[in-house]
Each structure stands twice: as structure tokens, then as C-alpha cells.
């Protein structure tokens, strides 16, 4: 999870500090906004964060469930973020929009501009519908889900498999993996050591993917020579998928 924070300001409505907690759910980046999106450093922090995400992401969800207030500048920042994302052939969706913020969007006629959903799950599912934007095309037609608590390991595996032609989705949380299983089909799951380290975690993991082939990365994957570990993983994936289709 990545956290960005704006500066502390003060006003009659209380502290204006805006925190942005981000996690990856498959191809989607979910940003939980907490605080106020207003002119100044708060709007700038959101704008900077969206720009940062667009380096390698095209599917962004802003969860506004804990946003107390948005001024005109903050709303403009959200519109600019959506425009930048769509120019990059992606989209920025909203979810958990409180009634007072929805009224602001309605008065501004922006409910017709933003794609708004009532939950994170529905917003993520919208990105997985056929015909919606994707960051990279799948070259092999094989869809792989990689679960690991280490974001650096996920970043490496994601790029390794994408360059090998796989459609790769990653997550650090079992709960998010369950969500992804509901919205799309996977041919294979890669599991980091933390995902099955304890009996309770192992049961939860097995409940999530009972019928999908699983390859465990092993505790030494993250500390082994990257080239050898990557080549070995690709070989194991090819063998497992070939067994499945034989």
C-alpha cells in the first residue's frame, strides 16, 4: 500500500490534511481518499498522485467514502485527473460517493461525466468487463494471478510475465484476490510464501482458488538471483499450463 499526504492546514471545518492510501487490485489502482480535497497542497497532492500512478497504470478508482468536503478547485483536480487518465487510454472511476458529494456532482452536472459506483468491488468489476481499457494486451490468452505480500516481488513478476506474453494481475491481499476471482477467470495462480504460511491462511487461500492450478513461489524466490529465479518460474508456468491443456 502506498500513502501520500497533503500538508496540514486549518479552517473552521477542522484539519484539511488529505491522505491517499493506494493498493493494487489486479490491473486496478484503488485510492482511498480521507480528508478534504480543496485548493492548495491538498489538490496538488491528489494531482501528483494520479500522475504518478499513470506511469504504469491506466485503471484508477477514487474511493471518496471518507472525503468530508470538496471545493471547486478540488473538483477541478478530479476532472483533470479523469481527463489525463482517459487521454492515456484508461479511465478514472469514483466509488462510495457520500450523499453530500453526490449532490455537488449533480449540481455541477458531473454525474454524467464520471463513472460512479457504489462500492470498490463494482468499480473494479467495471474495469473487467469486455471492451474496457486494459494496460497491456494479453499476447498468449493465458491469465495469471500473482499473490504476494511483497510489492517489489509483485512488480518484478508482473513485468517478467508481461514480457513473456501473459495477462498478469497482482494483489497483496487475499480479500482482493477473492474479488478478482469473482470478476474474471484465471488460468493459473502464483502464491508467495506468506499466502499459505499458516493453516488459517492456507484454508482461506484454498477457498479462494479451489479449481485453479497453483504454483508456490517459495521463500527463496525473493532472495535468489533474479535472472535464474525468473527463468525457472517461466519454465514452471509453461509446464503447468501445458499440463492443464494436454
**Where residue 23 falls among pLDDT bands split at 50, 70, 90?**
very high
> What per-residue confidence (pLDDT) applies to 159?
86
> What per-residue confidence (pLDDT) applies to 16?
55
Please give the share of the chain, as a percent, with pLDDT higher than 90: 50
| Identical fold between 2-127 and 143-245 | no
The domain locations on the chain are 2-127, 143-245
Q: Is the pLDDT of residue 1 over 60?
A: no
Q: Is the pLDDT of residue 104 over 80?
A: yes
Q: What is the mean pLDDT of residues 108-113?
A: 89
> What per-residue confidence (pLDDT) applies to 227?
84
**Where residue 119 falls among pLDDT bands split at 50, 70, 90?**
very high
Spatial CA neighbour of 28 closest among 174, 213, 164, 171: 171
> What per-residue confidence (pLDDT) applies to 130?
79
Spatial CA neighbour of 193 closest among 238, 159, 223: 223
**Where residue 101 falls among pLDDT bands split at 50, 70, 90?**
very high
Other Cβ atoms closer than 10 A to 223: 8
Topology given in CATH for the domain delimited by 143-245: Rossmann fold (3.40.50)
* pTM for the model: 0.78
User: Is the Cβ–Cβ distance between 217 and 124 less than 8 Å?
Assistant: no
Average pLDDT, the chain: 85
**Residues 6+ away with beta carbon under 8 Å from 42:** 6, 7, 9, 16, 17, 18, 35, 36, 74
> What per-residue confidence (pLDDT) applies to 245?
60
Please give the share of the chain, as a percent, with pLDDT higher than 70: 85
> What per-residue confidence (pLDDT) applies to 109?
87
Q: Is the pLDDT of residue 246 over 70?
A: no
Q: Is the pLDDT of residue 233 over 80?
A: yes
- Backbone angles phi and psi of 154, in degrees to 5: -60, -40
pLDDT tens string 190-231: 988 887 766 776 777 777 777 888 898 888 888 888 888 899
**Where residue 175 falls among pLDDT bands split at 50, 70, 90?**
confident
Q: How far apart are CA 170 and CA 6, in angstroms?
A: 28
Of 49 and 164, more confident:
49
User: Is the Cβ–Cβ distance between 27 and 169 less than 8 Å?
Assistant: yes
CATH number belonging to the domain at 2-127, selected among 2.40.10.410, 2.40.10.10, 2.20.28.10, 3.30.750.24: 3.30.750.24
Q: What is the mean pLDDT of residues 7-19?
A: 54
Amino acid at each position: 500500500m502506498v500513502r501520500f499526504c497533503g500538508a496540514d492546514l486549518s479552517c473552521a471545518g477542522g484539519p484539511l490534511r488529505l491522505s491517499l492510501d493506494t493498493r493494487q487490485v489486479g490491473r486496478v489502482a484503488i485510492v482511498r481518499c480521507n480528508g478534504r480535497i480543496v485548493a492548495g497542497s491538498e489538490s496538488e497532492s491528489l494531482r501528483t498522485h494520479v500522475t504518478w500512478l499513470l506511469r504504469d497504470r491506466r485503471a484508477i478508482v477514487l474511493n471518496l467514502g471518507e472525503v468530508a468536503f470538496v471545493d471547486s478547485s478540488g473538483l477541478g483536480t478530479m476532472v483533470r485527473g479523469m481527463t489525463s487518465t482517459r487521454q492515456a487510454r484508461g479511465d478514472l472511476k469514483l466509488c462510495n460517493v457520500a450523499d453530500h458529494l453526490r449532490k455537488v456532482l449533480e449540481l455541477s452536472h458531473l454525474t454524467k461525466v464520471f463513472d460512479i459506483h457504489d462500492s470498490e468491488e463494482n468499480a473494479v468489476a467495471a474495469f473487467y468487463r469486455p471492451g474496457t481499457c486494459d494496460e497491456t494486451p494479453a499476447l498468449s490468452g493465458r491469465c495469471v494471478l500473482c499473490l504476494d505480500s511483497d510489492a517489489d516481488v509483485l512488480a518484478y513478476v508482473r513485468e517478467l510475465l508481461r514480457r513473456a506474453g501473459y495477462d498478469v494481475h497482482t494483489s497483496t491481499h487475499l480479500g482482493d484476490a477473492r474479488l478478482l476471482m469473482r470478476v474474471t477467470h484465471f488460468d493459473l495462480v502464483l502464491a508467495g510464501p506468506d499466502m499459505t504460511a499458516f493453516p488459517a491462511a492456507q484454508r482461506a487461500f484454498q477457498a479462494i482458488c479451489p479449481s485453479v492450478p497453483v504454483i508456490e513461489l517459495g521463500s527463496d524466490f525473493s532472495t535468489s538471483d533474479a535472472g535464474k529465479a525468473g527463468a525457472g518460474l517461466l519454465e514452471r508456468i509453461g509446464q503447468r499450463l501445458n499440463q492443464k491443456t494436454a
